[in-house]
Amino acid sequence: MLDFSILLNNLDTYLEGFKNTVLASIIALLGSFIIGVIVAVMRIAPIKPLNWIGSAYVEFIRNIPLLVIAFFFYYGLPAIGVTLPAFVAGTIALAIYTASFIAEAIRAGIQSVPKGQMEAARSSGLTYLQTMRTIILPQAIKIVIPPIGNQFINLVKNSAILGMIAGLDLMYFGDLVSSRTFVTFPVYIFVAMFYLVLTIPLSLGVGYLERRLARSN
Amino acid sequence: MFKSKTSKIAGVLLLSASMLLSACGKGGDKETSGSAKNALEQIKSKDKIVIGVKYDTRLFGLKNPSTGEVEGFDIDISKELAKDLVGDAKKVEFKEVTSKTRIPMLNNGDIDAIVATMTISEERKKEADFSDVYFDAGQSLLVKKGSPIKGLEDLKKGTKVLAVKGSTSAINISQKAPDTTVLEFENYTEAFTALKAGKGDALTTDDSILYGMVDQDSNYELVGGTFTDEPYGIAVKKGNEELVDAINSALKKMKENGKYDEIHKKWIRSN
């Protein structure tokens, strides 16, 4: 029943997919972190129009299914003359989507530092940016790391979206092998194991950081 | 009855273990005899047949957005089957399948039969039982009008051919044009959308399906003729000879009484 020879015969295919999943995850991880920080700054900066833009980004992107965003970048953009390869379209979608959650995590972290500290620092002569850098952010980072770590784990799992737009990732090749051989169960178990190879170390890493930060308090 | 506490416990354990074992045995028996006990009779007793069809394939199985009904060659054939097997063309329930999902759905028992542009192949015969051929298609290429691709020989390194996951055409094309890159999508709508969006140079599948795409958008054309034989069959779960026989006799009847020609003429252009 469980014919695992199918998996070994297609090992090259899986490794190719695994490579692309890792690549997409790393790029999207960096991208989403950068966008997330920018959006978070916009949300909390003492400038109203920036707040609005930041909030609009988070509320729009966070509340749209990732699949829709990926389809938009892959199938939608050619309508205005922009044709992106599936891998690129999928990775951008992944970064943009995850960024909205990261921005929220950062905003929540910064705002969880009591307001009085900002007021005290400002009244003792520090500028807004100085207060942020030396007083608020060092405290916020500790609060923010665990939720951001969780978002990165989600990002790796969500990268399976590439499989839906022929993005040549792990899920795409898993689907391909199972639809050709009709061996579904072992194939998807194998795919799941590959994802675990990425997510379990990430998960342990987040847990470790969390414990260390808790201790340093 | 039992001398000591330990023997009591051992007795209970033994009893429950034997019950568990006999229950397992029974369950197993029931299941095998159940599926062997004639899918045809099951269909007749629930008084309807559930058929997996495509919802995205113009001319064969397409959900009409204005009426919400699925329409096409496969649909009409399915209705005729229902008329023959359960006595009424209306006693058929359609469920959407794709090339990828149809065999898993059949094996899960979600559908009784597949009438979904499905080529009979040796590989698939290991997974399902097939009826006689009810339609002859052949694989071809669809390109935008004016494309430099005129046939199989123009698919070189660097050209991208779009196909659908789980279709025979995806496998065929990587054998017939090994240098070309094949990108596989979930269904034909997505593959054709990708072609229109410039994600590939050609789309390959059975000519019958490609004609449906041309019907929808005449900026595209078939090139290079057909380069495979794709005999379509109706698939049922493995080990259901009675049902296969019933379907074959229904198909035969359709061909004899002219109904098949009528359906063929209605959907398939003669070129």
For the segment B225-257, what is each residue's pLDDT rounded down to a tens digit?
999 999 999 999 999 999 999 999 999 999 999
- List chain B residues with CB under 8 Å of A166: 162, 183-185, 194, 199
Residues of B within 8 A of A182 (CB-CB) are: 103-104, 123-124, 126-127
Sequence-separated contacts (24+) of B159-163 with Cβ below 8 Å = B159/B201, B159/B202, B160/B199, B160/B200, B160/B201, B160/B202, B161/B200, B161/B201, B161/B202, B161/B203, B161/B204, B162/A166, B162/B191, B162/B194, B162/B195, B162/B199, B162/B200, B162/B202, B162/B203, B162/B204, B163/B191, B163/B203, B163/B204, B163/B205
Architecture field, domain A5-216: Orthogonal Bundle (1.10)
Contact predicate A79/A94, CB 8 Å: no
The domains found in chain B, sorted by start residue, are 39-136+232-267 (3.40.190.10), 139-228 (3.40.190.10)
Q: Is the pLDDT of residue A212 over 90?
A: no
pLDDT for position A109: 92
Inter-chain residue contact A86 with B190, CB threshold 8 Å: no
Q: In the prediction, which pLDDT does B192 show?
A: 94
The residues spanned by each domain of chain A are 5-216
Is residue B26's pLDDT more than 60?
no
B184:A75 CB<8 A: no
Check B165 against A86: CB less than 8 A apart. no
pLDDT at position B10? 58
The mean predicted confidence, pLDDT, of chain A is 90
Exposed/middle/buried for A5, CB within 10 Å: 0-12, 13-18, 19+?
A: exposed
Contact B193 A179 (CB under 8 A): no
- Chain B residues closer than 8 Å to A179 by CB: 99-100, 165-166
**Which DSSP helix (H) or strand (E) runs through B42?**
helix B39-46
Q: What digits encode the pLDDT tens for the residues B120-150?
A: 999 899 999 999 999 999 999 999 999 999 9
Query: Per-residue pLDDT tens for A123-178?
Result: 999 998 899 889 988 888 888 988 999 999 999 999 999 999 989 999 999 888 88
CA atoms within 13 A of residue A176's CA, in its CB half-sphere: 26
Mutate to test the interface with B, among A84, A179, A182, A183 (most CBs of B within 10 A): A179
What pLDDT, on a 0 to 100 scale, did the predictor assign at position B27? 39
CB contact (8 A) between residue B183 and residue A86 = yes
Q: At residue B93, does pLDDT exceed 80?
A: yes
| Contact between chains at B166 and A74 (C-beta distance less than 8 A) | no
Q: How confident is the model at residue B65 (pLDDT cuts 50, 70, 90)?
A: confident
Average pLDDT (A85-96) is: 95
B150 Cβ contact list (under 8 Å, min separation 6): B223, B224
In the prediction, which pLDDT does A2 show? 58
Set of chain A residues whose Cβ sits within 8 Å of the Cβ of B104: 182, 184
CA distances from B169 to B91, B164, B188 (A): 33, 8, 12
Tens of pLDDT along A8-50?
A: 778 888 899 999 999 999 999 999 999 999 999 999 888 999 9
Minimum mean pLDDT range among B157-166, B176-185, B262-271: B262-271
Residue B166 in contact with partner chain A when CB distance is under 8 A = yes
Q: What is the per-residue pLDDT for B37?
A: 58
pLDDT at B139: 95
- Other Cβ atoms within 10 Å of A145 Cβ, number: 17
